[in-house]
Chains A and B, each alone.
Chain A
Amino acid sequence: MSWRPIPGEVAVEAPPIKPKLELKGRISRSLVEEISRAKGEPEWMLRLRLRSLELFEKLPTPSWLTGVEELDLEELAHYVHPDFERAASWEDLPEPIRAVYEKLGLPEAERKALAGLAAQLESETVYLSFRKYLEGRGVILMDMGEAVQRYPDLVKRYFMRLFPPSDHKFAALHGALWSGGVFLYVPEGVELEAPIEAFFFVASDLLSQFEHSIIVAGDRSSVHFIEGCAAPMLRRYSFHDGMVEVYVGEGARAKFTTLQNWSRNIINFNNKRALLERGGSIEWVEIALGSKVTYTYPSVILRGEGAKASIYSLTFARAGDWKDTGAKVLHLAPRTSSEVVSKSVSVEGGVSVYRGLVRVAEGAKGSIASVKCESLVLDRESRAYTYPRNEVEEAEATVVHEASVGRLSDDVLFYLRSRGLREPDARKLVVLGYVGDFIDRLKDSMSGLFLEYYAVLKRVLETEFEEMGGYG
């Protein structure tokens, strides 16, 4: 295959964006009102935004945030609407924009492997299409702004109910300024046989992107949602503060795969949470290749008996990077289970951090949680930190935690070189072996139509890690 769905900064250049509307500067009531007006929102959404704004102003900036010193919210454009309308076919997009998406491989990915695709540019969804037969089965895939207008009662039941603006300062900021993202509703008993993808592209310097996506998997339904992110190399930086809320009904199965490949001058905050009912399951895969600074911790609330979560994350941190990732799992019902596997690679002075929480509430009898976090540090300048926390209030529960930091020591390098491998090849072998184990785990969970996507994913990862492992 010649296409790469998620290329990095090298592969794309910024398309020229002429905004139809651009709102920038100080974050104020009037700015929030103007965004809401531009999007033609109902009153309840404006109230949610304004309440979020109040919270943003009141809540403190977390003291442990690091690497975001250059972030100056007042110099950013918070809402940029490109000067063309949303298209349902690639031909209807302006040529330079279409060319970027073609280079990103999206049209071909859609044709070959996806049931639906939404593409966001700056603050708005500019492309959205999905298989017609799904509409007949009651599936809704829609730009979030449009869903607010067309299905207000449905959206109101879910929007920031799981991840309230009061959660932290940047959740509140998101609530005040959100735009874009998708609303995916899969009715009871409907199984989507191919994934739905949402792709987020930041084209401009000094922009903030706040997409909000909601996935509702009805009882006994199944869905695989793929999230991709990319940006060209920017002169200064841009800011991403997205949010995802996933509602998994009884006996439903959801997979959520993120391949975050922002260019290296994106400051990336991501707020992700899932709520699972009885017998529901989610597999959350978070691969953080790009960005300079990332803070993201997919969280799962196991509310129903027998609900099950797997969270796999893979990050890598290069020179100047701070990758702060992790997972949170709350076991609130009996016989719930969770597995967290986190892997990171740090090189050239990059810093990887794992922050995790497993909480087993009283009454969650027979629940099982396992956390395994591994860090590979490739040189003396790089760092890996692990901050796991377990809160177990139920005696009849099992919580297992393993953490390890592996260093690529001089002795290992010498050993591999003594077998005839050049030093860069030795590093590459170690890193690919470390990542390969993770890729194999992904492969096990992907089947049928997903295999094609997996093949591309594997190649992108290997390219990234070969480059990193073979440095020097």
Chain B
Amino acid sequence: MSGLEVEGIHVRVNEELVLKGVTLRVPNSSVVVLMGPNGSGKSTLAYAVMGHPRYRVEKGRILLDGDDVTGLKPEERALRGLFLAFQSPPTVESVRVGTLIREALARRGFPFSESEAIALLERVGLNRSYLPRGVHDGFSGGERKRLELAQALILKPRFVVMDEPDSGLDVEGVKLLASEVAGLAESGAAVLVITHNPRTAEILAPDRVAVLVSGRIVAEGGLELVREIGERGYEVVAG
């Protein structure tokens, strides 16, 4: 299958086994929403897919368009087209937004166009004044999410994982997010959006919904699953 695939992964963080055999498929040109309560392992999945060294995959595989990338470094995964929009991106005050974008584009062999970068920043509600600022330095929660989204648009990834991209955004921001997520999928990307907000899930109108509870996928389906969670909670869905 082409797209992003997670095959039965067990992930340990420090001493704790957080993911206990998670399998998830995100085909190209589609949007999958992953929902789950706090502590279910959603962010662990995002970090493990991106290759964070502290998130050890003990079993299972991660595939990008059928290629096993489980043993690859984060930067190698990134250069194969994987992008992670962080839930809580760190502040890197000494690196300017413009510099990061230019360097990231250069690694992919793409030219840097300041006007294009500014246009994309503006599209997500930021502007040219953000380019000379330190990465996320002094940014509000919403601005952080917008900059993560802007990078996803600028770097043109083929596999996108977004970890709670809606938190800190107002309703208009979530609508903008939904529109850009749809655009990414239309351009052929496999997009996995992690959220615990049923309202966001509905606005995103995903192709598929998966539910993660206690480190296991407990349900998969369509939007009706979101409504069920909204009405009856995760425990019932996990049933």
Q: Tell me the A residues contacting B by CB distance below 8 Å.
A: 376, 406, 409-412, 414-423, 425, 429-431, 433-434, 436-437
Contacts and interface: CB of A to CB of B under 8 A. Distances in A.
Contacts of A376: 94
Nearest to A425: B103
B90 to A, nearest CB: 5
B11 to A, nearest CB: 15
16 contacts: A376-B94, A411-B90, A414-B50, A415-B86, A415-B92, A416-B95, A416-B100, A418-B86, A419-B151, A421-B75, A422-B73, A429-B103, A430-B94, A430-B95, A431-B94, A433-B96
Given A410-B54, A414-B52, A415-B86, A420 B104 contact: yes
Given A415-B92, A421-B103, A433-B99, 10 more contacts: A406-B94, A409-B90, A411-B90, A415-B90, A417-B74, A418-B75, A418-B84, A419-B78, A420-B104, A421-B104
Contact of A420 (B54, B78, B93, B99): B78
B199 interface: no
Contact of A417 (B73, B93, B134): B73
A414 B103 contact: no
Interface in B65-98: 73-75, 77-79, 83-84, 86, 89-90, 92-96
A126 to B, nearest CB: 41
A304 to B, nearest CB: 37
Contacts of B107: 419-421
Most chain B CB within a 10 A radius of its CB, from A416, A431, A437? A416
B227 interface: no
Contacts of A416: 92, 95, 100
B53 interface: yes
Interface string B93-126: 1111001100110011000000000000000000
Contacts of B74: 414, 417-418
In terms of DSSP, what is the predominant structure of the interface of chain B? mixed
Contacts of A436: 94
B110 to A, nearest CB: 10
B103 A419 contact: yes
Nearest to A416: B92
Most chain B CB within a 10 A radius of its CB, from A409, A420, A429? A420
Contact of B95 (A409, A414, A418, A429): A429
B78 A415 contact: no
Contact of B99 (A417, A423, A429): A429
B75 A412 contact: no
B75 A437 contact: no
B54 A417 contact: no
A430 B86 CA distance: 19
A437 B99 CA distance: 13
B59 to A, nearest CB: 22
Contacts of B94: 376, 406, 430-431, 433-434, 436-437
A406 B75 contact: no
Contact of B79 (A414, A420, A430, A433): A420
Contacts of A434: 94
Contacts of B96: 433
Contacts of B155: 419-420
B204 to A, nearest CB: 22
Contacts of A422: 73, 75
Contacts of A409: 90
A422 B104 CA distance: 11
Nearest to B83: A418
Interface string B150-167: 010001000000000000
